[in-house]
Chain A
Amino acid sequence: MKAVNQKAWLLILPVVLCVAFSAILPLMTVVNYSVQDIISPERRVFVGTEWFKAVMRDDDLIGALGRQIVFSLAVLAVEIPLGIALALAMPAKGWQSSAVLVLVAISLLIPWNVVGTIWQIYGRTDIGLLGASLAALGIDYNYTGNALDAWLTVLVMDVWHWTPLVALLCYAGLRAIPDAYYQAASIDGASKFAVFRYIQLPKMRGVLMIAVLLRFMDSFMIYTEPFVLTGGGPGNATTFLSQYLTQKAVGQFDLGPAAAFSLIYFLIILLLCFILYNWMQRVGTADKEPGHG
């Protein structure tokens, strides 16, 4: 067991200071703004929870929240299975494994605005391969004008961008499984599906938890890529929460409501992640098993 040592605080002090500097100070500022009406730098009026109430009644906000939830769920529904499938398909040894690894990981290392730019170009029917191909097939595709097309493009862009993260995590989890497990399964007469279900999937539990957590958090905060691709349009069809917040804060410079909304945004994510985190911890250490064959 771990030794009890309060002096360990000295070791974590630098981290706490750094993060506190980057997090607590700004957070306090935000809280500060959220309860004041800043008419001008000199004139501030304490308004209590007024901004919070206003924000909750804001239809645009509810709309953005709804869109965000649908988007995040769709992202998880596609990227997790696809990532697992990709990890299973990636070679384990040899020069091929390095080559495939680099090729798969490239999309992770592209600055997010460049991702948006790539797809912005790619989807255009005049200069983009995807757009032109779809047009050549007779499909009426226009991601700037058509809401559904915009949605699908943003979704596919995110899948293209982030599935490799899920895949790399699962790939690492798979490589950690000793050969003996596969040999024993072969001796036990297990089918390929049984091997996946009883050996590979359980052993990937740890990394899958990380993948789901990360993808959920990040998709809920997504800003740059859809901003560059569609600007939130057409209309506000692809305006998700972060963009909504930025519009309010920077665009309209409504500090009060923006701050209030920021806090609510933060708390939503916190709550959802807390639930997700605990649920997965429970699955990881469960003594009772749901359903088995």
Chain B
Amino acid sequence: MDERRFRKRSLFLVLYLVFAILPVYWMVNMSFKTNEEILSTFSLWPLHFTTDHYRTIFTDVSWYSGYINSLIYVAINVVISLLVALPAAYAFSRYQFIGDKHVFFWLLTNRMTPPAVFLLPFFQLYTTLGLMDTHIAVALAHLLFNVPLAVWILEGFMSGVPREIDETAYIDGYSFPRFFLTIFIPLIKAGVGVAAFFCFMFSWVELLMARTLTSVNAKPIVATMTRTVSASGMDWGVLAAAGVLTIVPGAIVIYFVRNYIAKGFAMGRV
């Protein structure tokens, strides 16, 4: 009886994985075909394998700078998000103070705000500050939704650490910064990993704000690709190759945090 159920589940899993991977595979497939082949014939794998499109991306500065720009502002954002979220999450987890529940909910509401609402104000704000078209602008703008999420996730993990550990450290004479850095953070490593993963994820994939706040210098890859789309005569091959390359950093990140994700979620907000 278990055998049958096992096979049903495996079948379902396999079907889903096929469903999940097929569109990605199709894009990978296209990225290795020449444009002529894409438009003329239809095949499940490239008949004339070519790496031309990838070469274009790696050599054309307007393309590869897009990736570098994205990586820069995402990295800045993740670092800042974690830096401000860690003490705040600790405060929410350990203390009661005036307005604590309200502030927590207010933070969450920022995650709920449609970015479209802030498009114009952001545009004007950053223009006024002279920060238009900089990496820091996008990094700061993304703080809007990443910081609340980081606080939410980290607070969940921190609540799982018994307060006795804090008290023991104080009795042992640790100052707060030293306790926090050398004892506490290692205990919530998984939580930091999960929070960093989500901040990376949501910042890397966000389009609207990233496109609005940049033009040339800090133009992220997501914007470069949409430019291609709206131009006449679509270069499908390069587009596909660019798409494939945007998945690479994500796949690497998730490979590194894969152990934390399952363990991490479990210890967190459950």
Please report A residues at the B interface, Cβ cutoff 8 Å.
1-6, 8-9, 11-12, 14-16, 18-19, 21-23, 25-27, 29-30, 33, 85-86, 88-90, 97-98, 100-114, 117-119, 121-122, 126-130, 132, 160, 164, 168-169, 171-173, 175-176, 192, 203-204, 206-207, 210, 217, 220-221, 223-224, 228, 241-243, 245-246, 249-250, 255, 258-259, 262-263, 265-266, 269-270, 273, 277
Distance (whole angstroms) from the CB of A155 to the closest CB of chain B = 14
Contacts A112-B205, A265-B117 supplied; 16 other A-B pairs, CB < 8 Å: A18-B84, A26-B125, A89-B9, A100-B13, A106-B24, A111-B222, A112-B222, A117-B225, A117-B243, A118-B243, A132-B42, A168-B261, A221-B112, A223-B208, A259-B120, A270-B109
Distance (whole angstroms) from the CB of B227 to the closest CB of chain A = 10
Please list the 7 inter-chain residue pairs (A to B) with the smallest Cβ-Cβ separation, ordered nearest first. Answer: A109-B250, A172-B265, A26-B121, A176-B266, A11-B91, A22-B144, A29-B121
A245 touches B206 (CB 8 A): no
A171 touches B262 (CB 8 A): yes
We find that the number of chain B residues with CB closer than 8 angstroms to chain A is 97
Q: B39, B117, B206: which has the most chain A beta carbons within 10 Å?
A: B117
A-B contact pairs, 5 of them (CB 8 A): A25-B121, A101-B258, A126-B39, A164-B20, A241-B114
A15 touches B27 (CB 8 A): no
B42 touches A5 (CB 8 A): no
A127 touches B38 (CB 8 A): yes
Q: B23, B108, B144, B249: which has the most chain A beta carbons within 10 Å?
A: B23
A109 touches B204 (CB 8 A): yes
Distance (whole angstroms) from the CB of B82 to the closest CB of chain A = 11
Q: A18, A126, A241, A255: which has the most chain B beta carbons within 10 Å?
A: A18
Contact of B13 among A86, A98, A169, A242 (CB under 8 A): A86
By DSSP majority rule, is chain A's interface helix, strand, loop, or mixed? helix
Given the complex, which residues of A lie within 8 Å of B119, measured CB to CB? 246, 249-250
With A89-B16, A112-B207 as contacts: A2 and B246 at CB distance below 8 Å: no
Given the complex, which residues of B lie within 8 Å of A203, measured CB to CB? 270
B114 touches A18 (CB 8 A): no
A3 and chain B: residue at smallest CB distance: B95
Q: Contact flags (1/0) for B88-119 with A, using CB distance below 8 Å? A: 10111011111010010101111111111111
Given the complex, which residues of B lie within 8 Å of A21, measured CB to CB? 140, 143
Contact of B94 among A3, A15, A107 (CB under 8 A): A3
Compute how far the CA of A191 lies from the CA of B261 in the bound complex, rounded to whole angstroms: 30
B216 located at the interface, meaning its Cβ lies under 8 Å from any Cβ of chain A in the complex = no
B207 touches A224 (CB 8 A): yes
Given the complex, which residues of B lie within 8 Å of A207, measured CB to CB? 265, 269-270
Query: What's the count of A-B pairs with C-beta under 8 Å?
Result: 287
Contact of A175 among B147, B201, B207, B266 (CB under 8 A): B266
Contact of B143 among A11, A19, A262 (CB under 8 A): A19
Q: A9, A23, A111, A263: which has the most chain B beta carbons within 10 Å?
A: A111
B10 located at the interface, meaning its Cβ lies under 8 Å from any Cβ of chain A in the complex = yes
Given the complex, which residues of A lie within 8 Å of B265, measured CB to CB? 168-169, 171-173, 175, 207
Compute how far the CA of A224 lies from the CA of B222 in the bound complex, rounded to whole angstroms: 11
B191 located at the interface, meaning its Cβ lies under 8 Å from any Cβ of chain A in the complex = no
B87 touches A12 (CB 8 A): yes
Given the complex, which residues of A lie within 8 Å of B115, measured CB to CB? 221, 223, 242
Contact of B261 among A23, A172, A249 (CB under 8 A): A172
A110 touches B250 (CB 8 A): yes
Given the complex, which residues of B lie within 8 Å of A204, measured CB to CB? 270
Given the complex, which residues of A lie within 8 Å of B90, measured CB to CB? 11
Distance (whole angstroms) from the CB of B189 to the closest CB of chain A = 16
Contact of A15 among B118, B151, B246, B250 (CB under 8 A): B151
Compute how far the CA of A209 lies from the CA of B144 in the bound complex, rounded to whole angstroms: 22
With A2-B96, A112-B207, A217-B111 as contacts: A173 and B266 at CB distance below 8 Å: yes
B22 located at the interface, meaning its Cβ lies under 8 Å from any Cβ of chain A in the complex = yes
B171 located at the interface, meaning its Cβ lies under 8 Å from any Cβ of chain A in the complex = no
B23 touches A119 (CB 8 A): yes
